[in-house]
Amino acid sequence: MSLEIKNLSVIYRDGSHSIQALEEVSLTLAPGTCLALVGESGSGKTTFGNACMGLLPSNAEREGEIILNGNRIDHLEESDLNEIRWKRISMVFQNGAVNMNPVYRVVDQVAEPLIQRGHLNRAGAMAMSSEALEQMGVEKEYHDRYPHQLSGGQIQRVLLVMALILDPEIIILDEPTSALDALSRTVVSDVIQAARSGNKSVLLITHDLEFAMRNSDTIAMLYLGQIMEALPAIDLLARPLHPYTMALGRSYPAMDTARDLGGIKGDAFYRLVHQHGHHDEDAYLHAHIQVPQSSHKDGHAPPTGCLFQNRCTQAVERCLTERVGLEVIGDHTVRCLRHGIANLLELKDVNKKYGKTFALDPVDFTIKCGEVFSLVGETGSGKTTLAMIAAGVLKPESGKRIFDGIDMDEWMERDYRSLSRRIGVIYQNPAESVSHRFSVFDTVAEPLKIHGLTGSKSEILELVKKVLGDVHLSTDPAFLGRYPHELNMGAIQRVCVARALVLNPSILIADEPTSSLDPSVQAKVLKLLLSIQIERGLSMLFVTHDIGLARKVSDRIGVLLAGRLVEVGPANLVLSEPLHPYARLLIDSVCGKSREPVRHKTDKTGPDACSFATRCTLARELCYKKAPLLNEKAYRRVACHFPLTAG
Amino acid sequence: MRIDFHQRIFRDTWFITGIVLALLFAIAIILGPPLVPFDPWDMSFVPISQPSATHILGTNDGGQDIFSELLYAVRNTAAFGLVCGLIALLIGAIVGVTAGWMGGLVDMILMRIADILLAIPAVMILILTAALFRPSPWVLALILSGMMWPTISKAIRAQTLTMKESLHVKAAAQIGAGNWYIIRRHLMPELFPLYLIGFAAKARMAMFMEASLAFLGLFDPARKSLGMMIAYAVKYYYMDIWWNWLMPPIVCLSLLIMTVTFLAISLEKVLDPRLKEALGS
């Protein structure tokens, strides 16, 4: 049994205004699978569920096809639809108890569809529903109660029983878990698993990412009525391809994500479609923007461009004008002009020598748009060197650096300033990274003056004040005239952050930005950095020796050992289940579980040995002979001959 | 520059002393010669007369008015010192910044030249040149400046090297600042104390050198100089005229040197916000 939805569009009419709830959504529910429809509230999830059931209100205008087992059901009469509803497609509505009749006992309500559609007599129906309720874990004593006498969990169970009682082929669950605690959720999980193994199809509508990930096969991300990405459930957090998927993943408080909650910058558009002007020639369809600071007059945006563009971390000029269709990339389907999350900075085989010693062996990694990438490692592992190469301050011996798709070295030669404008750098020691002869104003205004972007003094002052406000510093003239020695470290570092931000960079490179601050100031500066990263949709390269800190800020982590990356991957995976023994050691030493191991003496060490071999408890013959290369493994890249096993 | 600059500097005793002295000397130098009561070369007065209403400091053995002579001498000595200080500073700063900023071969060559000059005693060269060729004072000033810049340039080069490695210069370079911008905005202000110290030291040295050369009679005897006045006065030390003939040039020379020093110290203090804090004013 399958349900296929083709190009479903729904518009709610309301006087002269209308709201576009869905736009050309195509999805297929294959038998034995669960499809999760995920999105923020207002993205059209419930409308989609209701449309499948033919339950849209009368002011809804629908286009597109809904095909059940090869037969279109979208144009059926109400009486024919009634034959299909509950028997072949059933739905658990959201908000629990509101969907039940308060004056009937629950067992009567469960029996009702059996009597109406199942053509059973009353006694048989009652017996059957009683049995079904018990199977679902609602004890006998509750069967004769009224809905208000049951708990939220029990209500949800009753609703599930109601939906399942006629053994439909397609089950639509609308926010089945929103009122449930973690334990009660397992009931819903069990229902979904049972349906999947019974070769039925489940459409799970939810905003609970973790629940969707665990219980579905495919996840479709809905944003303002459009599918932004459809992807295999296991890829949701580890390998999203659309910025929206990544941002939602970061906003969700899953148990194994390390980073603090992120959120998505800005607010969604309102997709109000209406006609303007009294004359027909003025009238045009357009979408409303809810956010006050819209570039368009009166907060209107013409209906062009990507819907996510105002909140996207990688929007380019063309995103404002071009709206693209879905595109298949691997096993994902993505709607993005830039073919998924773009790489902002790619380092390919960069290396660096100081004299004759290699500070960096050929290293490559990428920083994606809108993510925080942390480099961790011992002191002397080449973290700062790598960060400065990424910032364009140091030049690598060889290798390629690509920024936003353009070769950095060529770009630097052609027009260094236009590149440096896009890279903000924060240094380790705030007191030394500002001149003690520069006042706060001079320091923050310096990039503006160097780039000569703004002419007048008042314009510069305005920009400086704005960015100082962004980093939560005072903007009054007395403060602007302060000198570094009159400020505390935290304030100086904020001034440095302001200086890095004043040119509106697309990436922040922070080299141990908090290591010279005390813990309370460190916490403040770090929170500030993260909130700025989210608000501005920046990418960030965060260099630190403190794994605890990296855990709090990173989306992805790279572990550096003696100038080589030994493990790169999503922060939660690397930190919870490191595959490289060195990463394990670093994490354990932070927890106090292990200390620096003694280097065991060996004469087996060859010139190309793994740099960790002499400290590694798992080292074998091969490790002393040949340094391992980075290999793809379990969503990350690891350079180890005998990696630890995940889990 | 700084809003409270004026307020702060006028509360500084070093500066006030220095500026009062400097003003007095400036008046003497600029307005003195045109207003002197007598032509200092006029030998028509009674020799070795005591101070009087007409001759404020009396007359010397040649019958010349000492006060008029003193004004011209102060002017010559001060000008010689200031010019030497300025030229030495200019060369020293250019060489120092260039060597420090560019580094490599340029640095090596410039610093070896400086080393060579440091090894040659300036006094000897000056005495020999003055004695053998009898050049004009300005040529001597140039030669002296040419010998004095190495110490300034070494200090400036060292500071330039430090600054070049400092994070705020690196930060500015990362932002996209050009060499010239960094030298102008980051390096020059940072070097300012060194200019002041260098200039003051060299100007002092040059004034003293001028006085010494004149004392030795190596300048044109017709050129008025504090050194020459002292040399002549010393010859008559047994007569009771030391306080009106010998003392004035000695006091003037000391005061000149002190003025330069005081101003250098006070300006340095005011222009360096950290130093100012430490010195507590």
- CB-CB: which of B168, B174, B189 is closest to A393? B174
CB contact under 8 A, A393 and B167: no
Residues B235-261 pLDDT 10s = 877 777 777 778 888 888 899 888 988
Residue B109 to residue B113: CA distance in whole angstroms: 6
User: For B276, which residue in chain A has the nearest alpha carbon?
Assistant: A485
What pLDDT was estimated at residue A282? 42
Q: Is A564 contained in some domain?
A: yes
What confidence tens digit (pLDDT) does each residue in A609-632 have?
777 877 777 777 777 777 788 888
* Helical pair B188-215 and B137-165, crossing angle rounded to 10 deg: 150
SS (H, E, C) A225-260: CEEEEEEECCHHHHCCCCHHHHHHHHHCCCCCCCCC
Q: Are A5 and A63 in contact (CB under 8 A)?
A: no
Q: Are residues A487 and A636 in the same domain?
A: no
Domain check: are A209 and A89 in the same one? yes
On whether residue A482 sits in a domain, the answer given is yes
Q: Do B175 and A437 touch (CB under 8 A)?
A: no
> In whole angstroms, what is the distance from residue A244 CA to residue A535 CA?
14
- The Cα A471–Cα A526 span in angstroms is 11
Which positions in chain B touch A434 (Cβ < 8 Å)?
Answer: 168, 171
Q: A76 and A189: one domain?
A: yes
Q: How many residues does chain B have?
A: 281
Q: Pick from A31, A28, A40, A39: which is nearest to A67 by CA?
A: A28
Question: Rounded to an integer, what distance in angstroms lies between the CA atom of residue B81 and that of residue B257?
Answer: 9
Alpha carbon distance B112, A226 (integer Å): 74
Residue A113 covered by a domain: yes
Q: Do A451 and B176 touch (CB under 8 A)?
A: yes
Q: Which of A219-233, A348-362, A560-574, B164-178 is predicted with the least confidence, judged by mean pLDDT?
A: A348-362
Would the CB atoms of A392 and B168 count as touching at under 8 Å? no
More confident residue, B108 or A283: B108
Tokens 């909140």 belong to residue: A311
Residue A255 placed within a domain: no
pLDDT (tens digit per residue) in A447-488 = 888 888 767 888 888 888 888 888 888 888 888 888 888 888
Residues in B closer than 8 angstroms to A485, CB to CB, are 273-274, 277
State whether A575 and A493 are in the same domain: no
Residue A209 lies in a domain: yes
**pLDDT band at residue B2 using 50, 70 and 90 as cut-offs:** very low
- Taking the alpha carbons of A293, A297, A299, A300 in that order, is the dihedral positive or negative? negative
Q: Are B273 and A433 inside 8 Å of each other by CB?
A: no
Contacts of B272 in chain A (CB under 8 A): 437
- Give the pLDDT of residue A258: 62
Question: Considering only CA atoms, which of B71, B82, B69, B88 is closest in space to residue B28?
Answer: B71
Model confidence at B145: pLDDT above 50: yes
For residue B105, the tally of other CB atoms under 10 A from its CB is: 8
Per this entry, what is the length of chain A? 647
pLDDT digits (tens, 9 = 90+) for A135-172: 888 888 888 888 888 888 888 888 888 888 888 888 99
Beta-carbon separation of A446 and B175 below 8 A: yes
Measured between alpha carbons, how far is B228 from B212 in angstroms, rounded to an integer? Answer: 8
Residue that has been written with the tokens 């010689």 in this structure: B80
- What stretch of H or E contains A608? none
What value does the mean pLDDT take over residues A42-55? 86
A412 and A431, same domain (yes or no) = no
Among candidate residues A242, A232, A252, the one with its CA nearest the CA of residue A306: A242
What's the pLDDT at B77? 87
Is the Cβ pair A436, B181 closer than 8 Å? no
Chain B contact set for A503 (CB, 8 A): 175
Instruction: Tell me how many degrees the CA angle A191-A197-A203 measures, rounded to the nearest 5.
Output: 55
Residue ranges of alpha helices (H) inside A227-355 are: 235-238, 243-251
Which two structure tokens, joined as six digits, stand for B178? 């050009």
For residue A547, the model assigns a pLDDT of 85
Tokens of B272: 């360096």
Contact A427 B167 (CB under 8 A): yes
| Beta-bridge partner residues of B20 | none
Chain B residues in contact with A435 by the CB 8 A cut-off are: 168, 186, 189-190
Say whether A432 and B167 touch across the interface (CB within 8 A). yes
pLDDT given at position A160: 87
Residues of A with CB under 8 A from a CB of B: 391-393, 416-417, 420-421, 423, 425, 427, 429, 432-438, 446-447, 450-451, 481, 483, 485, 499, 503
Asked whether residue A546 falls in the same domain as residue A481, the answer is no
In this complex, do A437 and B189 lie within 8 Å of one another by their Cβ atoms? yes
pLDDT confidence tier of residue A218, bands split at 50, 70 and 90: very high
Which residue has tokens 């011209």?
Answer: B72
Taking chain B, what is the end-to-end CA distance rounded to the nearest angstrom?
18
Contact A404, A421 (CB under 8 A): no
B5-33+63-279: CATH number: 1.10.3720.10
Same domain, residue pair A549 and A621 = yes
Question: Chain B contacts of A487, Cβ < 8 Å?
Answer: none
Residues linked to residue A357 through DSSP beta bridges, in sequence order: A354
3-state class (DSSP) for residue A357: strand
Q: At A210, which amino acid appears?
A: E
Q: Are residues A79 and A174 in the same domain?
A: yes
Identify the band that residue B95 occupies on the pLDDT scale cut at 50, 70 and 90: very high
How many domains does chain A divide into? 3
Distances (CA, A) of B197 to A374, B13, B152, B183: 47, 18, 9, 19
pLDDT above 70: percentage of residues in chain A? 89
- What is residue B184's DSSP assignment? I
Report d(CA A238, CA A573) in Å as an integer.
Answer: 8
Q: Last residue of some domain: A167, A196, A217?
A: A217
Which residue on chain A is closest to B177 by alpha carbon?
Answer: A450
- pLDDT tens-digit series, residues B174-196: 888 888 888 888 888 888 878 88
Count CB-CB contacts under 10 A for residue A357: 8
Is there a contact between A432 and B174 if contact means CB atoms under 8 Å apart? no
Contact A393 B273 (CB under 8 A): no
- With the C-alpha atoms ordered A416, A418, A422, A425, is the resulting torsion angle positive or negative? positive
What is the pLDDT of chain B when averaged over all its residues? Answer: 82
Mean pLDDT of chain A: 82
Find the closest chain A residue to B180 by CA distance.
Answer: A450
Q: Do B3 and A423 touch (CB under 8 A)?
A: no
In a domain, A638, yes or no: yes
How deeply is A303 buried, as exposed, middle or buried, from its count of CB atoms within 10 A (0-12, 13-18, 19+)?
Answer: middle
pLDDT band, very low/low/confident/very high, at A360 (cuts 50, 70, 90): confident
User: Does A645 or A494 have the greater pLDDT score?
Assistant: A494
Q: Calculate mean pLDDT across residues A23-34.
A: 88
A433/B176 Cβ within 8 A: no
Name the minimum distance, in Å, from the CA of B166 to any CA of chain A: 7
Mutation for testing the B interface, residue in A394, A437, A504 having most B CBs under 10 Å? A437
Same domain, A48 and A165: yes
Residue in B175, B271, B275 to test binding to A, most A beta-carbons within 10 Å: B175
Q: Give me the residues paired with residue A367 across strands.
A: A345
Last residue of a domain, one of A217, A236, A266: A217
What is the token pair recorded at A104? 């009937």
Looking at residue A295, what is its pLDDT?
Answer: 44
Interface of B with A (CB under 8 A): 3, 166-168, 170-177, 181, 185-186, 189-190, 272-274, 277
Convert the pLDDT of each residue in A270-311 to its tens digit. 666 655 444 444 444 555 544 444 444 444 555 567 878 778
The reply to whether residue A450 touches residue B274, judged by beta carbons under 8 angstroms, is: no
Residues 6+ apart with CB under 8 A from B168: A432, A433, A434, A435, A438, B186
Shared domain for A497 and A613, answered yes or no, is no
Nearest chain A residue (CA) to B174: A393
Single-letter code of the amino acid located at A135: Q
- For A248, the token pair is 């939602």
Cβ of B171 within 8 Å of Cβ of A416? The answer is no
A194: CATH: 3.40.50.300
Single-letter residue type at B86? L
Average pLDDT over residues A523-540: 86
The answer to whether A481 contacts B3, with C-beta atoms less than 8 Å apart, is yes
Sheet arrangement for strand A372-377? A423-426, A507-511, A539-544, A372-377, A556-561, A564-570, A636-638, A631-633
Distance from CA of A604 to the nearest CA of B (A): 41
Contact at CB, B168 and A416, closer than 8 angstroms: no
Q: Out of A167-171, A215-219, B44-48, B147-151, which region has the weakest mean confidence (pLDDT)?
A: B44-48
- Residue A106: inside a domain: yes
Residue ending a domain, among A178, A193, A217, is A217
- Cα angle A346-B175-B164, degrees, rounded to a multiple of 5: 110
Q: A483: which chain B residues are within 8 Å (Cβ-Cβ)?
A: 273
Count CB neighbours of A321 within 10 A: 12
Quote the tokens at residue A497.
């952050």
- What's the burial of A590, exposed, middle or buried (CB within 10 Å: 0-12/13-18/19+)? middle
Q: Are residues A468 and A608 in the same domain?
A: no
CB pairs under 8 A between A and B: 59
pLDDT at res. A634: 73
Mutation target for A interface from B2, B166, B168: give the one with most A CBs within 10 A. B168
Structure tokens that stand for A559 in this block: 């572990």
CB contact under 8 A, B190 and A437: yes
> Two tokens at B277?
């804090």
Range of the domain at A415: 342-419+534-647
Q: Is the ipTM of this structure higher than 0.85?
A: no
* Cross-chain Cβ contact A485/B277 below 8 Å: yes
Nearest to A504 by CA among A462, A541, A532, A477: A532
Q: Which residues of B touch A450 (CB under 8 A)?
A: 172, 175-177, 181
Chain B CB contacts of A432 below 8 Å: 166-168
A126 contacts A90 by C-beta, under 8 angstroms: no
- The reported pLDDT for the residue numbered B276 is 53
Question: Distance from B111 to chain A by nearest Cα, in Å?
Answer: 24
Q: Which residues pair with A350 in a beta bridge?
A: A363
Q: Do B175 and A503 touch (CB under 8 A)?
A: yes
pLDDT at A601: 66
Angle between helices B167-175 and A440-451 (to 10 degrees): 30
What is the gyration radius of the CA atoms in chain B, in angstroms?
22
Q: Which residues face A558 on adjacent strands?
A: A375, A568
Residue A477 lies in a domain: yes
Which DSSP helix (H) or strand (E) runs through A502? none
Task: Name the closest residue on chain A to residue B186, using Cα atoms.
Answer: A435
